[in-house]
Amino acid sequence: MAESETSDQLAAFFQSGIYRFSNCAVAVVFMDPVRILNRSYSRFRVSPSTYYSRFFSSNLAADFAHRETEFSSSSKKRKRKEKKLPLLNEREQAADQRHQLARPLLLKAHECLIGASELLGILRSLSCDSSSMAERRKPAVVETESSFVELGKVWQAPLYEIALKFPRSCRSNENEGNIVDQCCDQGLVPVFNNLVVNETGDEVEAEFLSRKYVIPRESCFYMSDLGKIQNLIPADSGSGFNLILIDPPWENASAHQKLMYPTLPNRYFLRLPIKKLVHSDGALLGLWVTNRERLRKFVLEGLFPSWGVTYAASLFWLKVKADGSLTSDLDLFHHRPYECLLLAYCNTKEWEEPWKIKS
C-alpha cells in the first residue's frame, strides 16, 4: 500500500512538477520549476539543462567540493591560532532566535526529502533534457544577454521596440486603444513604460535586440521604473489584482559588493500603492525577504501596515543540491540555506476565515 502511494505521488509529480509528502509531520512540498513552467506552454518548452545549469553542474559541484576540502584542511592547520567567535549583537540574537524556531521544521522537511528514495532517485536527472545523449554532451552556448535595467536608463529607452509574433489562428482584438492589431502575424510595440499584452489563448514569440522570448498565454508585462507603478492602478477596483508577488531589491552589502544588481533603500517601498492595486474582493500578497532581523522588523511593523495588509504566514524555501543535501550548513549564520516568503492578505472583510495557515 505504501509503495503504491509513493508511486502515485511520483506520478503526480511528473504531471504537475509538485511532490507532496503525505506522511511528513510538517506541511512540505518539493517543486520542479521546469515542469511547473512547462505546464503553461504548448508550443515551447523550458530546457532543464539550461535552467539547472548553474545549480546541478557537475563541474561546479566538483570545484566547490575541492574548495571545501582545501578550506577544511587549512582550517585544521590554523585551528590553534583562531580566536573565539564574537558575541552576537542584539539584532543578530533576535535573528538567531527566529532561526531556532524554524530550525526543527526545516530539519523535519529535509528528513522527509531524504526519506523519499524514489524522488531522490530522479533528482540528479532533473537537469537532463529529453534529447539524445549525443545532444546532451554538446557544450551549452552561453549568450550574453542585455540588461533591461541598464537599457531602461539610456535616453534611447523610449525608442526600443519588441516584436510580437502572433499565431496565424488568433482573432482580431476590437478593444479600443490596443496598440497591436492581433489579427496580424507580427506587431511592434514599445518595450519600456508600456503594457505589453498577449490576450490570446496561445503563447506568443517575441524578439528584442536579436534575442527571442516567449510570452505565456493571456499574460502581460510592464517593464518600467517602480516610480511609474501608478500606471498599473486599475480604473475599477473590480479589475485589480488578487495575487501580488514581490521580490524587492533589498539593500544588501554583499549584493552591492558583487554588483549583482542595483538595490533600493527600504523606505522606497513604503510608497508602493498596494491598496490601489488589489482587487475589491481582496488579495493575497507574497513578499520575499532576507534573513536579516532589521528587515523583518521593518516589514512587519512598518511596511505591511503602510500597505494595509495583514501578516498571515511564513513559507520557507529550503535549497538542496542534486543529491538532496543542503546547499550549506543549516546553522551557517550569514549564509542560511533557505529564504523566506511572507504571506499577507488585504481587503478580506467579507471572508469569515480567509487564511487557516500556521507560521
Of 169, 194, 224, which residue constitutes the final position of a domain? 224
Residues 200 and 230 in one domain: no
Residue pLDDT, tens place only, 325-342: 999 999 988 889 999 999
**Residue 251 in domain:** yes
**Residue 142 in domain:** no
Residues 67 and 162 in one domain: no
* Residue, of 47 and 351, whose pLDDT is higher: 47
Residue 259 and residue 264: Cα distance in Å, rounded?
13
**Residue 148 in domain:** no
- What does the mean pLDDT of the chain come to? 79
pLDDT band at 60 (very low <50, low <70, confident <90, very high): very low
- pTM given for the model: 0.79
Residues 236 and 306 in one domain: yes
**Residue 143 in domain:** no
pLDDT band at 318 (very low <50, low <70, confident <90, very high): very high
Residues 233 and 350 in one domain: yes
Residue 135 and residue 143: Cα distance in Å, rounded?
18
**Residue 144 in domain:** no
Least confident of 88-102, 221-235, 243-257, 279-293: 243-257
Least confident of 165-169, 180-184, 266-270: 180-184
**Residue 291 in domain:** yes
Give me the residues paired with residue 192 across strands: 223
Q: Which domain holds residue 291?
A: 226-359
**Residue 25 in domain:** yes
* Residue partners of 286: CB distance under 8 A and separation at least 6: 243, 244, 245, 246, 341, 342, 343, 344
Residues 15 and 118 in one domain: yes
Residues 100 and 216 in one domain: no
Residue 229 and residue 242: Cα distance in Å, rounded?
17
Residues 334 and 252 in one domain: yes
Residue pLDDT, tens place only, 174-210: 454 444 444 456 789 999 999 999 988 889 999 999 9
Of 137, 168, 186, which residue constitutes the final position of a domain? 137
Residues 115 and 28 in one domain: yes
Residue pLDDT, tens place only, 77-126: 455 555 555 687 888 888 889 999 999 999 999 999 999 988 988 887 88
Residues 237 and 333 in one domain: yes
**Residue 311 in domain:** yes
Residues 6 and 129 in one domain: yes
- Looking up residue 261, the CATH number of its domain turns out to be 3.40.50
The domain tally of the chain equals 3
Residues 289 and 330 in one domain: yes
Residues 230 and 306 in one domain: yes
Of 104, 137, 170, which residue constitutes the final position of a domain? 137
